[in-house]
Chain A
Amino acid sequence: MLKYILKLGWKNVWRNPTRSGVVIVTVLLGTWAGIFAAGFFNGMLDDYLKGQINLTVGHVQIMHPEFEDLYNPNYSIHNTEEVVKSLNEISTIKDISAKSVASGLAQSARNSFGVTIWGMDIENDTSISVRSIEGYLDEGDMPDPTGRNQILIGDDLADRLGLELRSRMVLSFQDVNGDITAGAFRVAGIFDSFDSRFDESYVVVNKANLNQLLGEENLTHNIRIDVGELMVADDLASQIQQDFPNLEVKSWREIAPDLRYVFDMQDISLYMVMIIIIIGLIFSIINTMLMAVMERTRELGMLRAIGMNKSRTFSMVMLETVFLTMVGSPAGLLLGWLTITYFGMNGIDLSAFADGLEGWGFTTMIYPSLALKYYLNIVLLVAVAALISALYPAWRALKLRPVEAIRKFN
């Protein structure tokens, strides 16, 4: 019997192409909308996080447990070589960058500003940490390792202090003995990243120069680790923490609560948007199917009158929806994949909506992308939503009274 119902449902689908077309298009658009919205959000988030993480925090950082609170140069990592050696053996780690850090005041003839000073081993360090700053270099060069006290500053700090390429400036901070020390630096290069806060409050100098001023030769305060995948950072951090219980190992989620906020907030927004789109979809399908059932009052009444029972009428209408969904969903999936792939390569330019202002930490070009499992989840979600929304119209079809229904001339 099921076979006949199946057949009947299938025939009904093709009997009125307009009606079926409308439902198919609705499901198709729902699927596409879900996939595209998710891909869009995902792409936006990815770009933002990737830029921020590459430039500032990295995936995992190792420090002396006291260092972060106090920035006291004495709290350095004493066994740096041993740590780096053991990190080199972990295959998931892509980049390791060991730097010394100080926090102090940058002064020029005109003004002063509080900055964090990164002492990086520019000659030998080829990690993403150094590369990404180099990528934002606007004028000049990276500090010359052989030159004396050269410094790299951001364009916002340069504006604030009235500095230009090759200007002189003074950094003052606390050394290992607790005394205030100061050193004169010459600006070797100016970088301009997407994040004006970073450009204003971070400067880069050669590690050897900084350590000399700090008063100890082999100081390392911070080892930054970069891996391929954002999400493995937490596990990696706890693994390293076990190997070195005396050091503090933190993942980006702990170091940068603002990034975690963006990450989690986007998740919630995406979730809300999906709910709204699904509600829109459900109502579209309910209304369309309801109209479709009303349009067929006479036909359905006739079927009932010649002896088709309620459960069969019900399953017939439901099966129709299943067929329509089976056509609409994959088509929407394909369309979604195509648009994401297209815009993933060409990008969506939001600058038109952002008043043409240059981005401050937020990029205006968005490259949507979506992992396979999300595609499948969304298709499943839409299919379930479509079936649920067919329940009410199918139930209405049962409520028809055969005699009245047949009498009704449209």
Chain B
Amino acid sequence: MLYLKLAWRNIWRNKRRTFITMLSVIVAVILSSVMRTMNEGSYEQMIENTVGIFTGYAQIHQKGYWDDKTLEYSLVSEDSLFNIIDQTSGITEAVPRIESYALVAGERQSRAAMVIGIDPEKERSLSDPESRIISGSYFESLNEQSVLVGTDLMQRLELQVGDSLVMIGQGFRGQSAAGLYEVRGAVRFPNPDLNKSLVMMPLETAQYFLAAPDRLTGISLILEDSDDAAQIVKSLSGKLSSEEYEVMDWKELMPELVQAIESDRGSGFIIIMILYVVVGFGILGTVLMMITERTYEFGVMISVGTPRIAIAIILAFEVFLVAMVGSLTGIAVSFPISYYFHVNPIRLSSSGDLAEVIETFGMEPVLKFSLEPSLFYSQAIIIFVITLVFCLYPILKASRLNPVKAMRS
């Protein structure tokens, strides 16, 4: 207890010294959490831009569909299935879709296209095609004979709103699928690949075209909180027959996105290790200097009979307290910084080349920081541990002083 008291007094004895030491810890926490939140923020944006607006955070298919995306693995749209989904908590909407490929043609041109049948009302909560219509208008019913076409595909097929689109493909069980539809509008999505190949139809029209009445290739689930995806998938899988259905969260649906993020996280890990080394040595330098400054004091203490272990303990308490307060202050300071950049993301100069490129992807050219709480406290804990580890050497050094030399210095 005496040691703690002494350490406490030492801390307040020279406030500037304490402040400088604490500052090195605070800055370390700020830098590492800013870096982490910047990285994680860009992943969150990436996920939201790809998963959140098109795929959905979770999907239900007929078992085997995701490995082999053909209509043969489509599921029958049954009320009992939707009832089970309705009864699962955390799901706000179930968006039915039927997807396939077909050759689509205008008057002079033809292209291969991805055909998606959507429920015009339910789809609003996922890809929200109405808000992405560049020209023309949205579907009014589930069975009207019309389509929405991706902007680039429109251009390539030399089509205008109101023109007819011929579609030829393969339907359910190899039946041939052919039809003539009016182009209702042009849609633009953030993903350039979609714009080049997307044709949207009302659900029943698509089911009729593909000779698959009442069948769906998948149901995308809109979740209250996207973080719960894995848990909701688990509880749904329990309720649905695993022989018949597969329920997947976005990580299973888009492994390449997960991979891209993981690989980037890997490189981020190397970079943050480099940062730890730099700030760790900053802390070491500061503490080492703090102890060198107090050489005389320790010399006196040893010569009046303070056990060496006591000096080490007092110093350890000091470092512990300073590191603790420093880490907590670090969180307190870095949170507003990240919060600021979360609400006001860094805008990459709008005239720049890069901003232009990002905009072609339909994303906002901004760097948005994450506010995930675990990022802050994990960094604070890491820096706290680094501080303690890096301080072992100075503490040992102080307790091994030669008192005579120390007092002469």
Residues of A within 8 A of B (CB): 16, 18-19, 22-23, 25-26, 29-30, 33, 36-37, 40-41, 44, 69-72, 103-105, 107, 109-115, 159-160, 162, 172-174, 178, 180, 196-197, 257-258, 260-261, 264-265, 268, 272-273, 276-277, 279-281, 283-285, 287-288, 290-292, 294-295, 348, 350, 352-355, 357, 359-362, 364, 366, 409-410
Contacts and interface: CB of A to CB of B under 8 A. Distances in A.
Interface string B54-78: 0000000000000111101000000
A387 B68 CA distance: 62
Given A287-B21, A354-B266, 7 more contacts: A22-B289, A29-B278, A70-B109, A115-B112, A159-B68, A277-B274, A362-B260
Nearest to A25: B281
A287 B20 contact: yes
A283 B265 contact: no
A149 B259 CA distance: 36
A410 B278 contact: no
Contact of A364 (B20, B263, B279): B263
Contacts of B297: 410
B361 A280 contact: no
A160 B69 CA distance: 7
B200 interface: no
B297 to A, nearest CB: 6
A173 B105 CA distance: 11
Nearest to A368: B270
Say what secondary structure dominates the interface of chain A. helix
Interface residues of B, number: 80
A293 to B, nearest CB: 9
Nearest to A260: B357
A23 to B, nearest CB: 7
A178 B108 contact: yes
11 contacts: A26-B278, A26-B282, A105-B103, A257-B360, A280-B279, A284-B282, A285-B282, A287-B21, A287-B24, A287-B286, A409-B296
Interface in B230-289: 255-256, 258-260, 262-267, 269-271, 274-275, 277-279, 281-286, 288-289
Contact of A280 (B20, B101, B169, B278): B278
B386 to A, nearest CB: 12
Contact of B265 (A25, A72, A353): A353
B267 A290 contact: no
B24 A36 contact: no
Among A72, A115, A277, A284, residue most surrounded by chain B Cβ atoms (within 10 Å):
A284
B170 A40 contact: no
A40 B282 contact: no
Nearest to B358: A261
